[in-house]
Amino acid sequence: MTAAFNSSRVGVLFGGLSSEREVSLRSGVAVYEALERQGLHARLVDTGTENWHEQITDIDRAIVMLHGRGGEDGSIQGYLDTIGMPYTGSGVAACALAMDKIRSKIVFEHSGVPTPSFCVVRSVDDLSDFMVGEDYPVIIKPSREGSTIGITKVCSADELETAFEHALKYDSDVLVEHFVEGDELTVAILDGIALPVVRIVAPNNNYDYEAKYHSSDTKYFCPSGLEESVDVKVQEMAIRAFRSLDCSGWGRVDILLDKNHQPWVLEVNTVPGMTDHSLVPLAARAAGLSFDELVLKILLTTDVA
């Protein structure tokens, strides 16, 4: 498979200026090293630097390893479209929609993709209105962040205002979401195929930034340990969600599975992490793909229309 790219010059776009810069730096380096191991001509390009545009003038295609705003929200994809450079993953509209949790959930609802009930909140009064008839806990989060940044699990009324103010630090659009008690799952999508389901067990059932990237106590199960029929149902739901936003190439769909084995889609990630704690490489290994093979398959998505 490397023969098709032996003469290609590949730019790994990473870093950026979002709140997920640290994760992006690690993802980009891991992908760059995988390309180098396979003899491909690769270059790291940090889009958080002033002259990054000049660094891509002589590359043939780009692997986008930018997480969060400026890289996962369609803006970098729009620039690459403008200069006619092929790139990995979803296009402008799909990236922008997937990054916006409020609008992607609206699409899910209209597409028949189950997603937890929610409300857009602009004040503590809005929160109080949503909580009429709603049981604790609930989830409060910014609409356009990733890596669980700005998210709070709220267990009582006296925590609402603090959680709302915390989310507002990251986005003017904030949502409060019904909390689904159950298994936390994620499904990687690679070129239209759902990879094996990953089940996540975090300390105190709280899969936050610390649990995701730094904790050694977070457990990942792939195979998931669920019944095969449940795995298949979850994978099918992941593909439905991915397609409903018109995503392409590769990505990851985060899902909660309630006690009745009903999957509820939380969000679609169009540029998932590729660090040593990341879930797409874990799922790929369970499917028989090494990290290097996974990177090449992602690179091949630059040729998908």
Positions marked active-site? 20, 147, 213, 252, 254, 267, 269, 273
Which residues, 6+ apart, have CB-to-CB distance to 17 below 8 Å? 47, 48, 70
For the four alpha carbons of 68, 74, 78 and 84, in that order, the dihedral sign comes to positive
Which residues, 6+ apart, have CB-to-CB distance to 135 below 8 Å? none
Q: How do strand 61-64 and strand 9-14 relate by DSSP bridges?
A: parallel
Helix, coil or strand: residue 130: helix
Question: Do residues 291 and 36 make contact, with C-beta atoms less than 8 angstroms apart?
Answer: no
Cis omega (within 30 of 0) on the bond before 281? no
Residue 303: count other Cβ atoms within 10 Å of its Cβ: 12
Q: Half-sphere exposure (CA, 13 Å, Cβ side) for 225?
A: 9
β-sheet bridge partners, residue 152: 140
For the four alpha carbons of 16, 19, 24 and 26, in that order, the dihedral sign comes to positive
Residue 184: count other Cβ atoms within 10 Å of its Cβ: 18
| Token output for 291 | 């990290």
Distance of alpha carbon 202 from alpha carbon 215, whole angstroms:
9
Cis omega (within 30 of 0) on the bond before 137? yes
